[in-house]
Amino acid sequence: MDPSSADRSHEEESPESRPSSPDQSTSEEEDFSGVSSVDEIVKGLVHLQCQSSVEEGLCHVYLVGTAHVSQESCKEVKTIIRYLKPQVVFLELCPSRVNILTPQNFEVPTMSEMFDMWKNKKANPFGILYSWFLAKVASKLEVLPGAEFRVAYEEAMSYGARVILGDRPVQITLRRTWNGMSTWHKMKFLYDILFQSVFLPGPDEIVKMLKEMDDADALTVVVQEMSKAFPTLMETLIVERDMYMSQALWRVAREHSSVVAVVGKGHLSGIKKNWMQPVEVASLLEVPSTNKGIGMFKIFASVGAVTCVVVASGIYFWSKK
């Protein structure tokens, strides 16, 4: 199955399911000698249930929380899916991010490339800078962001499971985030995200931080920290997506008997909180009008000046060490 044909759960009508009769054999030799029961393999996972249209009348949903940039998370995802062989594997991705399911290189875009992306309207300023920031982080890690999704996808395809890309469209998320920020916050955001990227910790320090975060993933922690200065980030990047994915997951579960959902650890509590709760999905897909108090050209053009300040600051702090 080509990744581009993975199910789009945000469409109004659910696409036909792939054949869901699991083949108990896999291309690789399975080793579960240390596993004595299903209870042991799912220990620590969030277990949800709901009524289903299948013969059994019940669907078991297991949420696997990952760190997004952890090799251990990849191994855990592979083991759980290989052992449980769920009918559906649900991923914290939207269709426009399907390229993550194929091998790729994370290249940090130059300032010129970022400006061209904005000028050609390929993304809004927040989306461009946020993606640039994540690429900077990814360039310092041995495991590329999204590796656990590729592992989950490949494992699901090995026995014919249905794969659902159940996150809210990323462009809607980024546009709601950017348009919800005040002009001052937009300017401040440009400076902060550039300044922080200059002083990113090394790979060893990042891995150490991840091991200390038992209940959150790397991206959620970044968003939580940034939300102290930009309150709307937590709402649009985490809270709203928790609500959206919980509804998408519930919709899928009502038609199957078993689902494994692979999401960032930071989304576990939110998805559980909103499970089987009424959510106005349509309102989560609306994009508020842009604040026209200042032109986007003036805001984005300020990146060059901000970069100069960042570089000068970096040289100053480095000289003091």
The pLDDT assigned to 112 comes to 64
pLDDT of residue 11: 42
pLDDT per residue as tens digits for the range 31-59: 554 555 566 777 779 999 999 999 989 99
SS3 labels along 32-46: CCCCCCHHHHCCCCE
Q: What is the pLDDT of residue 220?
A: 76
Structure tokens, 163:
């794969």
Residues of the chain where predicted confidence (pLDDT) is lower than 70: 1-39, 69, 103-143, 193-211, 213-218, 290-321
Element (H, E) at 61: strand 58-66
User: How many residues does the structure list for the chain?
Assistant: 321
| Token pair 């709402």 in the structure block, residue | 235
Quote the CA–CA distance of 300 and 217 in Å, as a whole number: 29
- What are the residues whose beta carbons fall under 8 Å from the beta carbon of 198, sequence distance 6 or more? 310, 311, 313, 314
Q: For position 60, what pLDDT does the model report? A: 96
Predicted local confidence at residue 294, as pLDDT:
46
pTM for the whole thing?
A: 0.75
CA distances from 184 to 12, 112, 132, 202, 291 (A): 37, 24, 21, 31, 11
| Secondary structure class of 319 (helix, strand, coil) | helix
What is the Cα Rg of the chain in Å?
21
